[in-house]
Structure 1
């Protein structure tokens, strides 16, 4: 589930407690968590309603809208079988910036990162080190241009870079990506092993 910055920040501040989505099938599970630009949020409950559900004033306020009409207009931009009322709460700050800045990697750190990358490569074929090198050599280059260089579709490319970001190896920019200090340290130490 994608959340824009104002919504994520509202969840972190406690002013937004509900996210409204229209989907054919649920894309989040009760008890799950999700990282956002404002930190990690918890999925407290997922309530399925008919696709033509009308948003109440209380639901709209809980979702950060000025009123039911504004929330309904946003929801009506997409047709789907169901409307989901997703209750959310703030769980913890995003640890990725601190992780990304940690560039003093011990041998155990390099081995742990390498083991995770190896698992991802084993599941889908090798890509992790190639993507790290690509991002390192092409800072602030648009994702579609990078995806074309490795013959990947853009959504898959972005998903994979987010996986690397989850390990603190890459940083998303306004346009494109760059290696984090941790990612650069891994490339220096981890690829020579």
Structure 2
């Protein structure tokens, strides 16, 4: 579920507590948390709503001046239902703190190395983790498509999927354009050599 930056800012400030989406069926569950650019956003409630029942107060809670403004911004589609989703800021992304942990003891480094080896064994391309980490280290803030080409990937989306796996371990960070190694990722790469 994607959010515009001004909506994310409103969620973090506590001004935005509702969002509306058109879907065939719900794509999120109440109680789940989404990782976003501001940190974690909690889904507090979700349910279908008739577009005509959306009030001006609902619209203001969604960051719009009026229900008419909100309705004008919604994509029109006769076969999709409108869902009213209660949201709230749930704190920083835990990966942010993990990225800063660069003092790796032998047990932690061994666990990370084994996790990377499992990624390598499970991937259809064979060993890829060290290559991707080194390319990101050598080319921070480069477009993902360029990095994918440098790493020999057949498609940018496959490359991005692999980088997300590394990000889950706190080894990389997304930038406005491209990626960079986190302090933790740099510590791992330094020990790979």
TM-score (norm 2): 0.82
Q: 1:115 to 1:70 in 2, by over 3 A?
A: farther
Aligned 8 A contact 1:22 1:80 in 2: no
User: Contact 2:153 / 2:159 at 8 angstroms: preserved in 1?
Assistant: no
Q: SS of 2:58's equivalent?
A: helix
Q: CA RMSD in A?
A: 2.5
Please, which runs of 5 or more residues in structure 1 have no aligned partner? none
**1:142 alignment partner in structure 2:** 143
Q: 1:185 to 1:78 in 2, by over 3 A?
A: farther
Residue 176 of structure 1 is matched in structure 2 by 178
Q: Considering only CA atoms, is the larger Rg found in Structure 1 or Structure 2? A: 2
Hey, what does 2:187 align to over in structure 1?
185
Q: How many residues align?
A: 189
Flag the 1:129–1:11 CA change in 2: closer, same or farther, 3 A.
same
TM-fit CA distance, 1:4: 2.8
**d(CA) in 2 for partners of 1:145, 1:104:** 31
SS at match of 1:92: coil
Partner of 2:80: 81
How far the C-alpha of 1:177 sits from its partner, in A, is 0.9
1:91 aligns with 2:93: no
8 Å CA contact 1:140, 1:173 repeated in 2: yes
Residue 169 to residue 72, structure 1, CA distance change in 2 (3 Å): same
Q: CA–CA distance in 2 between the matches of 1:36 and 1:58?
A: 25
Flag structure 2 segments of 5+ consecutive residues without an equivalent: none
